[in-house]
Structure 1
Amino acid sequence: MAIAFSVGPHRVVDPGVPASLVRNEQRIRTRTQESRAFAQRVQLVMILTSRLNALPFDDLDGRRTLLTEIFGEPVPDSLSILPPFYCDYGLGASFGEQVFINQGCFFLDYGGITIGDRVLIGPRVTLCTAGHPVELDERYDFITHAPIVIEDDVWIGAAATITPGVTIGRGSVVGAGTVVAKDVPPLSVVTATSVVERKRLRSVGSSSMGTAEGFDYIKRPDGSVVITHRGRVATTLRGQRAAEFLDEVDDDPQGLMARVTGNYKHGNERTAKQHPRNRH
């Protein structure tokens, strides 16, 4: 038997509604003083963004002045936003250092958008923190909102959409055109079809088998593990071998990395000796 779940102190959602659609969600009723204040702020920010997008591209001082008005406080000197830029509220957005936002991005920030350091956001990306209830009988009467958090060193590709309540973990990559409706783990690559967890192997220094410098492994959705060296595929593990590798990474990362490094190094040496140019 299906059981309805609750979101907030006084709300029960139909069991057929995915929980990911209402996670961390808060709401305000339309046609109230709060919603009218929100609407007035939206109108003001629309005017400010239209002025921002009409500025000559080289008017950096004018752009920074308008961004300060839009966001309600001075923005970091290292923040770079290329116009056109669209925002509906402004007061909900905050930025870390060395953030780059490409052309044509949309920030619907009433629910709060927090962007960490060294974040790269591609063109036409939408960060949407606001919406309406999925329940038909409440959809017209409420505005829903939930925060978006983008942690340090994230790269979001062109035309991606981040939905309310999502956190994107540090160092992750969101592929172009991806719609992200649930949290992305740190150091992951998420595309329209999959999430790939990526972890960097620690360097173990010098040893008789070489070092692990430059090695990564990628855990794929099918359970296989791809080991790369400086971006090149060194080997692919499947089935039991992949499971044993993942277990050993947790139990003995240094020993495993030394062996992986040594095997790859020795394999490259054998390949080089077999090349026709190296035969004597």
Structure 2
Amino acid sequence: MKASVIFSTYNSEEWLEKVIIGFSVQTVQDFEIIIADDGSRQATADLIAALRTEIPIPIVHVWQEDNGFQKSQILNKAIVASSSDYLIFTDGDCIPRRDFVATHLANREPGYFLSGGYFKLPMTISKAITKEDIQQQRCFDLKWLRNQGLPSSYKNIKFIAKGFWARLLNAITPTNASWNGHNASGWKKDLVAVNGFNQDMQYGGQDRELGERLFNLGLRSKQIRYSAICVHLDHKRGYVNEETWTKNYNIRKNTRENKVVRTPNGIDSNTL
């Protein structure tokens, strides 16, 4: 396997199916999908079992019991379950364009991790996208999206930037090349070296904190936000709260100020 694609899910079968279909039509096929399932119901397992019979990409389903928002823990379990030395991370609500995996593989480099972005879609378009729209890549066609009601915005350039222009935009964007959980990739050995995601963190910044420890390890990052394209399907976020944000902020502050490399509560704190 050239890569393992890892993304989390929780009781979101409609969005999960669209994401898996997106990975089934990638221009390269030599990768595996690892679904990091943070306690979903049986319907998710049933959907995954059905899709295994329809698509050529191997799917590994890593599940843990529902104990609230424990995304960091299930992602660490997914890292352990991966069989590739290169790991691509996204989310279970992000449909990848067909060159998504190929772009990550083409830009990988020892000593670096890759930083991408996403394009947020409104709920109306998120619901309207069909399996055929994904297979035919209409959901990445700006004209089609506008016909579905997508507002005009400078951000729409992501759908038309190609080749030289995409590379130029990657170079001049003011956005930091941080570790973004919806679109990032790196070498498995580097993620293991920092002990993966910090399991003391719930929603809010746990991805960035991992990237900050990778920087402390000595890695650099490369920006691919205009090259590796995925669309984000809208959803509610009932797990956001001020207490968690404050706790995570303090953990990130400590990581930066004290140059923390290895989290004490990470990959080696649990087993499959």
The structure in which a higher percent of residues are strand is 1
Instruction: Please tell me whether Structure 1 or Structure 2 has the larger radius of gyration of its CA atoms.
Output: 1
TM score, norm. by length of structure 1:
0.21
- Which fold has the larger relative contact order, with Cα–Cα distance below 8 Å and residues 6 or more apart in sequence? 2
TM score, norm. by length of structure 2:
0.21
